[in-house]
Amino acid sequence: MRQARVLTEPELKRLLAVVAQSRYAERNRLAFMLSHLAGLRVGEIACLLGGDLFEADGVIRERLVVRASIAKGGHERVVFLGDRLRHEIERFRRSGEEGKKRKPNAPLLVTQKHTAFSPNTLCQLMNRMYAAAGLDGATSHSGRRWFITKLANSSVSTKVIMTLAGHKHMTTTQRYIDVREDMMRAAVEHL
């Protein structure tokens, strides 16, 4: 089975430019950023609640607890929200798409009918955006692979990456890591 394409930085910028032109642009951007910057699966993103990212007083959380009920394999995990992702969450909130009076137990991202996304519907939306950006081979899993590859290329321990991704086996994590010619060239320059 072919793996989802891992985007380069210019491709990610191109995707975000296409997303910016879409209806519900800020909602769509946050969905992609949760995938790319937190490594969340599309099913996890679709099931996020406002209270998963925001404290009761509206402060953005520093960490997200992926509930066992929405995590693949039924195992809760903690994902830390970096500054870049916290900025994206704040951007989403400022856009007004988040809904200022939304309750903590209401869906974070909603469809145009103001209902929760199903994982399948969000997957289709993401795949349409990748296609609109001309990114053949990119799927709703591309962000997760990008997240894991970026961490690996930043010399983050495989054990840490495995824990953040919610993988039980290191071999699963290693399969997510993309290797391209530019990466191999940079690696030998360290010698």
Report if residue 3 sits inside a domain: no
pLDDT in the model for residue 171: 83
Containing 119, the helix (H) or strand (E) segment is: helix 119-132
pLDDT in the model for residue 132: 97
**H helix count then E strand count, the chain:** 10, 2
pLDDT in the model for residue 97: 65
> 84: domain CATH number?
1.10.443.10
Q: Are residues 112 and 151 in the same domain?
A: no
The string of pLDDT tens digits covering residues 135-178 is 999 999 999 999 988 988 888 888 988 888 888 888 877 777 77
The string of pLDDT tens digits covering residues 64-118 is 999 999 998 888 999 999 999 999 999 999 887 655 556 778 999 999 999 999 9
Q: Which of 137, 152, 179 is the last residue of a domain?
A: 137
> Is the model's pTM score more than 0.75?
yes
Q: Are residues 181 and 111 in the same domain?
A: no
What does each C-alpha distance from 92 to 5, 8, 50, 85, 96 come to in angstroms? 26, 24, 12, 11, 7
Domain membership of residue 175 as a residue range = 144-188
Q: Are residues 99 and 129 in the same domain?
A: yes
Q: Are residues 52 and 14 in the same domain?
A: yes
Q: Are residues 161 and 119 in the same domain?
A: no
Report if residue 2 sits inside a domain: no
Q: Which of 96, 113, 137 is the last residue of a domain?
A: 137
Q: How many domains does the chain have?
A: 2
Q: Are residues 43 and 70 in the same domain?
A: yes
Report if residue 1 sits inside a domain: no
pLDDT in the model for residue 31: 97
Q: Are residues 112 and 159 in the same domain?
A: no
Q: If you average pLDDT over residues 180-184, what whole number do you get?
A: 76
CA angle 72, 78, 82 (to 5 degrees): 120
